[in-house]
Amino acid sequence: MTMKTRLLLKVAGCTGALLLALGVAGPAPALAEVRIDITKGVVEPLPIAITSFAGSGGREAQMGSDISKVVSADLERSGLFRPLDPKGFLQTPDQLRSGEPRYQDWRAVGAQALVAGNTTAMGDGRMKVDFRLWDVAGGQYMQGLSYTATADSWRRIAHIVADAIYKRLTGEEGYFDTRIVYVAESGPANARKKQLAIMDQDGENHQFLTDGQTLVLTPRFSPTAQEITYMSYFNKKPRVYLFNIDTGRQEVLGDFPGMTFAPRFSPDGNKVIMSMAQNGNTDIYALDLRTRRQTQLTDSPGIDTGPSFSPDGQRVVFESDRGGSQQLYVMNADGSGTKRLTFGEGRYGTPVWSPRGDLIAFTRQRGGSFALGVVRPDGTGERILTESFHVEGPTWAPNGRVISFFRDVPSGDGRGRSAKLYTIDVTGANERRVITPLDGSDPAWSPLIP
């Protein structure tokens, strides 16, 4: 069944080439498209009507209302959608429970897309949530899906619904059913308490994973989102650790004579790549988690750190000062075939390969400021997304469209700090705060939760 739609996000710029540059491959979305400008063009978000999900009982109705609010907030934060105020809606959720919507009523409120849903208690403690999506402009039904889960996971269901809508209307995978692990910070700058914390990507379900007694840095997710690798100063021995989120179990990774740091998982989850510093020299090593075998991948006399795998696991981008200053390099996963990637003015560090492979995010230090940017894996197309006194630590949403990072601002008297988490579109547009209970740094975005 093929249908045509007039749903379209209007953007500035030469979208054809830009879509290519973003790595959108394969068949175009069958019905609707959201075209995305990779430069900082003005994106006009798609007006979408998200009605309160209906439910028969009081509890079902409350949950339905809560779910639609989360769906709405997810889509709004993406910067690609503009959820309309439900107060103006002319049709009630009950009237949408069966049959076609009155499209003219939704056109009248300016909607181009319409979402309605239902929540039903299953009697066994589980909840069934279904939703339907219509193309208002084209007067067509687009999609309907149904999910069943325990009632206490209603937030996840909401994120999964938002992901389905996002995917249907943009043609790209969503990223709302994900979590962010980061370092929560508190206290004065010279005695900073740092603890691992985890939350949903929208800041909800926040919890601390460590108590702050031990300095911890740079957490990163495994591809299953069940484990985190990070650096800890436990017993004054700075080493890379593995943390199991479900069990809370922690273990040191590898048996290295020197400090290990800058860990990241391989895309298949079988290896952790990291740096070891010893006798003033820092090289990159891979640790096979099954055999526990350690392999040295670089042996330059300089600082080789910040390794990050390409999504196919074949290559590794890292930073090195072997050429005189911090720059990005790419090598094969076995350490062979090293090529320098950046030649720009300034220092380049913290490279992170996008999950869709098309870009590498980095931190650039030049003059008195720090900037976050992206560059293609062949070294072309370098762009800066945001620049300030101190920004650092980019991490990709699993669809490769959104980057999270932290920004550190000295307080007015210059003696304190304020580090906050943000997200920004890969275009450099739509920068948003991620609200956390304490200060935050070193965010790492999970893959879509399995």
Partner 1 sequence: MRIKYLSLIAAVALVAACESAPKDANTGANTGANQTSSIRPGSQEDLVVNVGDRVFFGFDRYDLAPEARATLDRQASWLKQYPNVTVTIEGHADERGTREYNLALGERRANSVKNYLVAGGINPSRVKVISYGKEKPAVLGSNEAAWAQNRRGVTVVD
- 404 touches partner 1 (CB under 8 A): no
CB of 303 to partner 1, least distance (A): 4
Contacts of 275 (CB under 8 A, 6+ apart): 260, 261, 262, 282, 283, 284, 285, 304, 305, 306, 307
Q: What gap in Å lies between CA 183 and CA 421, rounded to an integer? A: 10
Question: Residue 393 interacts with partner 1 (CB under 8 A)?
Answer: yes
Report the residue from 16, 99, 280, 412 that binds partner 1 according to the rule CB under 8 A: 280
Q: Which is nearer to partner 1, 146 or 278 (CB)?
A: 278
Among 442, 443, 444, 446, binds partner 1 (CB under 8 A): 442
- Give how many residues touch partner 1 by CB under 8 A: 42
Which CB, 150 or 278, lies closer to partner 1?
278
Q: Out of 13, 238, 267, 379, point to the residue binding partner 1 (CB under 8 A).
A: 238
Interface positions, 179-218, toward partner 1 (CB under 8 A): 188-190, 192, 194, 215, 217-218
Contact 162, 74 (CB under 8 A): yes
298 binds partner 1 (CB under 8 A): no
Residue 190: exposed, middle, or buried by beta-carbon count in 10 A (0-12, 13-18, 19+)?
exposed
* E strands present in 336-376: 339-340, 347-353, 360-366, 369-375
* Shortest Å distance, C-beta 258 to partner 1: 8
Q: Which is nearer to partner 1, 74 or 408 (CB)?
A: 408
Residue 246, Ramachandran bin (φ over 0: left; ψ between -120 and 50: alpha; else beta): alpha
Which pair of structure tokens corresponds to residue 40?
Answer: 């900082």
258 binds partner 1 (CB under 8 A): yes
Q: How far apart are CA 26 and CA 357, in angstroms?
A: 15
DSSP-based three-state secondary structure for 109: coil
The closest of 251, 321, 319 to 287, measured between CA atoms, is 251
Per-residue binding string, partner 1, 303-332, x by CB under 8 A, is x-xx------------x-x----x------
Say which DSSP state 59 is in.
H
Distance CA(377)–CA(361), nearest Å, equals 10
**Helical H segments across 189-345, by residue range:** none
Q: Cα–Cα distance between 352 and 377 in angstroms, integer?
A: 11
The C-alpha atoms of residue 25 and residue 253 are separated, in whole angstroms, by 38
Quick one: the chain helix, strand, coil %, rounded to 5? Answer: 15, 45, 45
Q: Measured between alpha carbons, how far is 80 from 34 in angstroms, rounded to an integer?
A: 8
29/238 with CB nearer partner 1 = 238
Residue 188 Cβ, how far from partner 1 at the closest point, in Å?
Answer: 7
Q: Using the minimum distance from each CB to partner 1, give the nearer residue, 110 or 416.
A: 416
Please report whether residue 414 would count as binding partner 1 according to CB under 8 A.
yes
Q: How far is the CB of 408 from partner 1 (least distance, A)?
A: 8
> Is the Cβ–Cβ distance between 334 and 316 less than 8 Å?
no
Q: How far is the CB of 363 from partner 1 (least distance, A)?
A: 5
> Which strands, in side-by-side order, build the sheet including 417-425?
391-396, 402-410, 417-425, 432-434
The residues near 168 (Cβ < 8 Å, ≥ 6 apart) are: 29, 31, 32, 133, 142, 143
- 415 binding partner 1? (CB under 8 A): yes
Q: CB of 346: closest distance to partner 1 in angstroms?
A: 12
Candidates 23-31, 32-40, 259-267, 424-432 — which segment interacts with partner 1 by CB under 8 A? 259-267
What is the per-residue binding string for partner 1 in 129-168, x denoting contact by CB under 8 A? ----------------------------------------
117 lies in the site for partner 1, by CB under 8 A: no
**Among residues 262, 333, 359, 419, the one that binds partner 1 under rule CB under 8 A:** 262
Which CB atom, from 106 or from 309, has the smaller least distance to partner 1?
309
Report 329-388 residues binding partner 1 (CB under 8 A): 347, 349-350, 363, 365
For binding to partner 1 (CB under 8 A), which residues are involved?
A: 188-190, 192, 194, 215, 217-218, 236, 238, 258-259, 261-262, 275, 277-282, 303, 305-306, 319, 321, 326, 347, 349-350, 363, 365, 389-390, 392-393, 408, 410, 414-416, 442
